[in-house]
Amino acid sequence: MLVVDPWHWLTEDGHFIADNPRLYRRMLRIARFIEYGGELDQREMRETLMECARRPKGKACPGLMWVVKTQKDEILAHCMICRNEEVLIHNWQKTEWAGGMMKPVPVSPDEGVLN
Ligand SMILES: [Zn+2]
């Protein structure tokens, strides 16, 4: 299982490293796990809408990922279908995704939507 400290894949001030597409995609997946799992209490879990990335026997696993908050306050992302434990994330607490989804903001008239 991959163990990730997201700060190794972010800029010093916590942003995505934009000029490395591979790293960006990997970190985006980690950020989504943090957004889903950060607000869980320890020993709680929830299903995400993120597809399992495994391809057992060359066929995409049909599972969706679950995130678990461990007793050490890490976020474990795993698939219940293929039993793959994809990643264990620690030191995520100060990332910008730790508090869950962005809070709603009103549409500003200059956005050009909802005309
Ligand atoms: Zn799977």
Distance from residue 51's CA to the centre of ligand 1 (Å): 8
Distance from residue 83's CA to the centre of ligand 1 (Å): 6
The conformational region for residue 29 under phi > 0 = left, psi -120 to 50 = alpha, else beta, is: alpha
pTM score > 0.85 for this model?
yes
Distance from residue 9's CA to the centre of ligand 1 (Å): 24
Could you tell me the pLDDT band of residue 108, with boundaries at 50, 70 and 90?
Answer: confident
The conformational region for residue 36 under phi > 0 = left, psi -120 to 50 = alpha, else beta, is: alpha
Contact 24, 9 (CB under 8 A): no
Tell me, what's the pLDDT at 115?
63
Distance from residue 80's CA to the centre of ligand 1 (Å): 7
Nearest to 99, CA basis, from 35, 21, 13, 44: 35
State both tokens at 74.
Answer: 């890490």
